[in-house]
Amino acid sequence: MSSSSSSPLLSTARSSILKAASMLSYHAYTIFLFSKSDIKTTLIPVSFFALGAAPLSPTRSLSHALQSILWIYLHVFHFNLCNQVRDPMEDKRNKPWRPLPSGRITLANAIRLKRIAITACLLLSLCYSPIVFYSSAFFAALVPMYHELHGDQHWLSKNLMNAVGYACFAIGSTLIASADRYKLDFVSSLSIFVISSILATTIQAQDFQDVEGDAEVGRKTLPIVFPNLSRYTPLISLLLWSLYLTIIWEISLPSSIAFTCLALIVGVRYYFWRSVKDDEWSYFLYNIWLAIAFSMPGYWRMYKESAAL
């Protein structure tokens, strides 16, 4: 075959490869945009927690860790899809860069993707153990209660349902990261109970920056119902939890002081600095505090449990 006849074939193949790569990157970025807001607030802290709370497999720890992070991300993606297909107009006002308001995907296709994501979460969970599957199934049942039945409209139900949702995340991901995927040991169970309680009492930290948008859609978050009193809650709850966490996980005195000082900074910021931009920065610092709190069971396993063996 002459070079002149093969040249169009090579050109066509190159064009097809470039077109496929462009389409793949476009869809990958669309998927990223659905979950962009929750990578730092959910994916990273829960991954820290799961890898720390789990008694890791001594021979397959990296594999189990990567599978656990993937499992968390799929469930975060499922939650984001359910949230964003419910009211695209709200995102058009508050987060116009998201895939639906920006026109990267149609509502019909997003709904199809939501159904695929739910099915993928359940089937993947079924591959691990019954408890992992139950965690995923309970989370799948909780999501429409949170969205379609308006569990997110009142601060009490919103806080409690967020805590239960995080517990589902924590149970499934911790088991996947563990050497034994069929049961939780005492440390894992205690860690999940504590972190769920922390979220039930502090998750309103995310609501201060969204007061205007939440009020427009009729939500009754804690900062809306109690605009002044709610400003005290981050300071009080974070300081109390800091004291408790540093005691039960046997954190060294210098680290305990630093962790408590971070809680104090976050709480003071929420009370004295109240603009939307200030609340965004306070929430960023809150997530740093939360990520450290999530990682404490891992510290205990690495330095305290191993020393006792």
Give domain status of residue 26, yes or no: no
Query: Average pLDDT, stretch 162-175?
Result: 93
From CA 63, how far away is CA 128, in angstroms rounded?
13
**Which residue is it, tokens 């990958």?**
28
Mean pLDDT lowest for which of 85-99, 123-137, 152-166? Answer: 85-99
CA atoms in the 13 A half-sphere facing the CB of 248: 16
Report which residue type is found at 81. L
From CA 49, how far away is CA 177, in angstroms rounded?
10
pLDDT at 227: 92
pLDDT at position 170 over 60: yes
Q: Tell me the pLDDT tens digit for each residue of 208-247.
A: 998 988 888 888 999 999 999 999 999 999 999 999 999 9
My answer on whether 177 and 101 are in the same domain is: yes
Name 154's bridge partners: 220
pLDDT at 218: 85
Report which residue type is found at 225. V
Residue ranges of alpha helices (H) inside the chain are: 3-38, 44-53, 61-86, 88-94, 99-102, 107-126, 130-146, 155-177, 186-202, 211-216, 222-225, 233-248, 253-272, 276-299, 306-308
My answer on whether 66 and 152 are in the same domain is: yes
The percentage of residues in the chain with a pLDDT greater than 90, rounded to a whole number, is 62
Query: Average pLDDT, stretch 162-188?
Result: 92
Range of the domain at 249: 229-309
Query: Average pLDDT, stretch 2-8?
Result: 58
My answer on whether 174 and 277 are in the same domain is: no
Q: What is the DSSP letter of 204?
A: G
Last residue in a domain, options 122, 154, 182:
182
Query: How does the average pLDDT of the chain come out, rounded?
Result: 89
Q: Tell me the pLDDT tens digit for each residue of 261-298.
A: 999 999 999 999 999 999 999 999 998 999 899 989 98
My answer on whether 72 and 172 are in the same domain is: yes
pLDDT at position 87 over 70: yes
Backbone torsions φ then ψ of 234, nearest 5 degrees? -60, -40
Domain count, the chain: 2
pLDDT at 60: 66
The percentage of residues in the chain with a pLDDT greater than 70, rounded to a whole number, is 94
CA geometry: angle 276, 282, 286, nearest 5 deg:
140
Give domain status of residue 267, yes or no: yes
pLDDT at position 139 over 80: yes
Give domain status of residue 253, yes or no: yes
**Position 253 confidence tier, pLDDT thresholds 50, 70, 90:** very high
C-beta atoms surrounding 202 within 10 Å = 24
From CA 231, how far away is CA 16, in angstroms rounded?
56
pLDDT at position 308 over 80: no
From CA 270, how far away is CA 52, in angstroms rounded?
29
Q: Cβ-count burial of 108 within 10 angstroms (0-12 exposed, 13-18 middle, 19+ buried)?
A: exposed
Give domain status of residue 299, yes or no: yes
Which residues touch 255 (CB under 8 Å, ≥6 apart)? Answer: 246
